[in-house]
Structure formats: structure tokens, C-alpha cells
């Protein structure tokens, strides 16, 4: 074999970017040649240090194999952050690195010039904060990446650092930064789920707006969510999970579960489509209590919390309502006593009339300029109507 072969690996991605000529010879066959296209050959940066560079604008060649090779070399040294100009690239370490985000580290990056210290998410937050204070203009930080890249955790770190810089402004006995930080577990409970790639994957978009006063203190905040993956409510692939809130409520204290008539997640159709009910290292009972505490801190009243979890429980019961063929053609009816029980519980939790809820699911109303037409649905269409209601209910939580 002649020629050269260079391999760069990052995770499961493998790049072979130099392959010139390979010769295979044997007594039984003639010599063969495989020639690679010159467009697939990339020059190597011979001046790059063995451990890579902390800013990839320093590379002689900023092509894709060179970028991946640099990130791989730094990753092997536990350097998960790398700059490309004023852009920060983070490679998910898939482990907790608490020492990178403690108060001492925040103090180090506070007021430091960009690029003066090692690449870090705190440096990006600090330069945005300083520019806002010095120029009097709003700033935005965009966090993007594929599923499992670490967007949720990175956003948490950004919010923690900004709360550290602009904290200690109080509203009704609670600091605003506390409310900002505690919004994360609440949003995660109702918008995050386990996927194949990530145990805590955000299934929605999030826009966080933090407001500062003239002295640089946090004076208010708003969180807007959009594009919730509503289809997950009714259909879950194995070995993924539905949204965390369903499992947290099923692990709530006994009196809570009795009030909502809840049992194991295995007993609910919207959850038992997958064999995954628990997450490694996560106690759903403790997470439920932590979520309730976080809701207290962000200012959600007891009555509002009660209403929210009543809707979550109602969705679980609604998923267990099944249908059979009705008396009329293309009509449906509640299948059995078990389905009737879950329908009744759904109505009680939503505080509506059970008969009207049944009619809403198994019938369709069409309004025309001349009249209002009501038609019955067959069992398959009724299931679709049931699932549509469940998805709408979660989006309203």
C-alpha cells in the first residue's frame, strides 16, 4: 500500500480526507489502482500545535476536515470550547463539569477582554452584557445546534452568568434572577422529553428576554416558547419518553395521585407505547417536588398549579378512552366501562360536562352559511379527534 491516509474522528463522524493511490497485488490477479479525485484532497496545517488552537481563525486552512480535526484534538484534552472569531463552538462532553461553571470561574471572566482567557460560554455572555452597558443597546445571543448538542444546558449557563452579573433586584420578596433561573425546570418539565440522543431534549423553541435597568441590574424577564412538538403527546417511539410532566405527576405523593386517579405510567396509552419509563440518575418523585417549588418561585399560584396538573392528568385519562362501532353507520360509541371511567375522569378534571365532552369527541360540527351540520365519526376518526384534543390541551398548559 502506498500513499497517505489521515483519519480525523469526532464522536461517530469519521473523515478520510487524504487518499491518493492504493495498489492491491496478488499472484492470482493483476495490479489494480484506485485514484481519488483531487477535489477530495485537503492540505494539512503543518503549523498547528499538537493540542489544536483555541481560535480556529488561526488555522492556515479553515476547511471542514481541518475544523473537525482541531475540535477533536481539543476534545481529547477536555477542552470543550473553541472560538471561531466571535463565535463559540461547544462540543457536548456528555458529563457534568461543575468546575467549569462555579462562582470562581464566573469571577474570572467578569470584565475580562474577549479572547484574553480560554474560550468559555461565560466570555460570550460577558461581552454581550458589557456591550449593552457601554453602548446602551440591546444585545442577543443565539444558541443553535442539532438535537443533543447541548443547547438547553448552554442556555442555562448563559442565564446563570447574566443573573450573576445583574442580580439582587427584588420583586415581591424574590430576586428576579431567582425567577429567571427557576423558569428553566418549569419549562423543561412541560416541554422536554427523552429522545434517542438526549435524556432532556427540548421539544420546542425558546426566546428568553432579560431586561436590565440603567445600573445593569435585572429588572424583568420574559420567556416565550414556540413550535412545541405536539405529536409526541399521542405517539412515542421506543425507547423514547413522552414529556417529563406526565411521569412526574405519576410519581407525585400518594394523595396527589389519588386525587387525580393516577397509576403507574404503564397503565396509560400515551406513555406505554414505549418501554422506557425511568431515566438513569433521575428520581421523578423528587423532580415533581422540585418543579412545584420552581413554580412557586416564578410566581405561579397554588390555584394555577392545581389547574395545570389537572390538565396534565386529564390528558393521560383522555388517552385511555377507546371507541367501538356505534349503532348508526360510520358512528362510534365509548367502547367499555373502563373507557367510560376515563372519560368521566377527564370531564371532572377539565370541569366540563361528560356528555358534552363525549359528543365533542365522537361528533364533528360543521358551520355553513345556511345551517350547522353535525355528523358522527367512525372509531378511527374518533381516535383522531381524541388525540387532537389532547395535543391542544398540552399546548394550552
Q: What is the pLDDT of residues 151-180, one digit of tens each?
A: 999 999 999 999 999 876 555 556 777 888
What band does 1 get if pLDDT is binned at 50, 70 and 90? very low
Amino acid 269: pLDDT: 97
SS3 state of residue 190: helix
Q: Is 168 a member of any domain?
A: no
Amino acid 44: pLDDT: 84
What band does 15 get if pLDDT is binned at 50, 70 and 90? very low
Amino acid 343: pLDDT: 97
Asked if the model's pLDDT at residue 277 lies above 70, the reply is yes
What band does 328 get if pLDDT is binned at 50, 70 and 90? confident
Q: Is 335 a member of any domain?
A: yes
- Most confident range (mean pLDDT) of 141-150, 240-249, 325-334, 369-378 is 240-249
Of the residues 50, 79, 108, which one is the last residue of a structural domain?
79
Q: Is 337 a member of any domain?
A: yes
207 prior amide bond cis, ω within 30: no
Q: Cα separation of 317 and 365, whole Å?
A: 24
Q: What is the pTM of this model?
A: 0.81
How many domains, in total, are found in the chain?
2
E-strand stretches of the chain: 5-10, 13-19, 21-26, 29-35, 81-84, 87-90, 170-171, 174-175, 192-193, 201-202, 205-212, 218-226, 323-325, 332-334, 363-367, 372-376
Asked if the model's pLDDT at residue 2 lies above 70, the reply is no
Q: What is the mean pLDDT of residues 311-319?
A: 97
Asked if the model's pLDDT at residue 374 lies above 70, the reply is yes
Asked if the model's pLDDT at residue 97 lies above 50, the reply is yes
Q: Cα separation of 261 and 265, whole Å?
A: 12
Of the residues 49, 79, 109, which one is the last residue of a structural domain?
79
Q: Is 26 a member of any domain?
A: yes
**What CATH code is carried by the domain that includes residue 359?**
1.20.120.720
- Strand partners of residue 209: 222
Q: Is 323 a member of any domain?
A: yes
Amino acid 5: pLDDT: 36
Q: What is the mean pLDDT of residues 295-301?
A: 92
Our measurement of the distance from residue 157's CA atom to the centroid of its chain's CA atoms, rounded to an integer in Å, reads 15
Amino acid 172: pLDDT: 52
Range of the domain at 339: 315-396
Interval 18-77: pLDDT, tens:
333 333 344 455 577 777 777 777 888 888 898 999 999 999 988 899 999 999 999 999
Of the residues 39, 55, 79, which one is the last residue of a structural domain?
79
Q: Is 155 a member of any domain?
A: no
Asked if the model's pLDDT at residue 355 lies above 90, the reply is yes
Q: Is 329 a member of any domain?
A: yes
Amino acid at each position: 500500500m502506498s500513499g497517505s491516509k489521515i483519519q480525523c474522528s469526532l464522536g461517530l463522524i469519521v473523515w478520510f480526507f487524504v487518499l491518493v493511490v492504493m495498489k492491491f497485488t496478488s499472484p492470482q490477479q493483476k495490479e489494480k489502482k484506485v485514484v481519488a479525485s483531487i477535489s477530495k484532497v485537503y492540505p494539512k496545517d503543518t503549523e498547528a500545535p499538537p493540542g489544536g488552537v483555541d481560535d480556529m481563525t488561526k488555522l492556515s486552512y479553515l476547511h471542514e476536515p481541518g475544523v473537525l480535526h482541531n475540535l477533536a484534538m481539543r476534545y481529547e484534552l477536555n477542552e470543550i470550547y473553541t472560538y471561531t472569531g466571535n463565535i463559540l463552538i461547544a462540543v457536548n462532553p456528555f458529563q457534568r463539569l461543575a468546575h467549569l461553571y462555579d462562582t470562581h470561574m464566573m469571577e474570572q471572566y467578569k470584565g475580562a477582554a474577549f479572547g484574553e482567557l480560554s474560550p468559555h460560554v461565560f466570555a460570550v455572555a460577558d461581552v454581550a452584557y458589557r456591550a449593552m452597558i457601554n453602548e446602551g443597546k440591546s444585545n442577543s445571543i443565539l444558541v443553535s445546534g442539532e438535537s443533543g448538542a447541548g443547547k438547553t444546558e448552554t442556555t442555562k449557563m448563559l442565564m446563570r452568568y447574566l443573573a450573576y452579573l445583574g442580580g439582587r433586584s427584588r420583586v415581591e420578596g424574590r430576586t428576579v434572577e431567582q425567577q429567571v433561573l427557576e423558569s428553566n425546570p418549569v419549562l423543561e418539565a412541560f416541554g422536554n422529553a427523552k429522545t434517542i440522543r438526549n435524556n432532556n431534549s427540548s421539544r420546542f423553541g425558546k426566546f428568553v428576554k432579560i431586561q436590565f435597568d440603567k445600573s445593569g441590574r435585572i429588572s424583568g424577564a420574559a420567556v416565550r416558547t414556540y413550535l412545541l412538538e405536539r405529536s409526541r403527546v399521542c405517539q412515542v417511539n421506543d425507547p423514547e419518553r413522552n414529556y417529563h410532566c406526565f411521569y412526574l405527576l405519576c410519581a407525585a405523593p400518594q394523595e396527589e395521585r389519588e386525587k387525580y386517579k393516577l397509576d403507574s405510567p404503564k397503565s396509560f396509552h400515551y406513555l406505554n407505547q414505549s418501554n422506557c419509563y425511568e431515566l438513569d440518575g433521575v428520581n421523578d418523585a423528587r423532580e415533581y417536588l422540585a418543579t412545584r417549588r420552581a413554580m412557586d418561585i416564578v410566581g405561579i399560584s397554588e390555584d394555577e398549579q392545581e389547574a395545570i396538573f389537572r390538565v396534565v392528568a386529564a390528558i393521560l385519562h383522555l388517552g385511555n378512552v377507546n371507541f367501538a362501532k356505534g349503532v348508526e353507520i360510520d358512528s362510534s360509541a365509548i367502547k367499555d366501562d373502563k373507557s367510560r371511567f376515563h372519560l368521566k375522569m377527564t370531564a371532572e378534571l377539565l370541569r366540563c360536562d361528560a356528555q358534552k365532552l363525549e359528543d365533542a369527541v365522537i361528533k364533528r360540527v360543521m358551520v355553513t352559511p345556511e345551517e350547522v351540520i353535525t355528523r358522527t365519526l367512525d372509531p378511527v376518526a374518533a381516535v383522531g379527534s381524541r388525540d387532537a384534543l389532547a395535543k391542544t390541551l398540552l399546548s394550552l398548559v
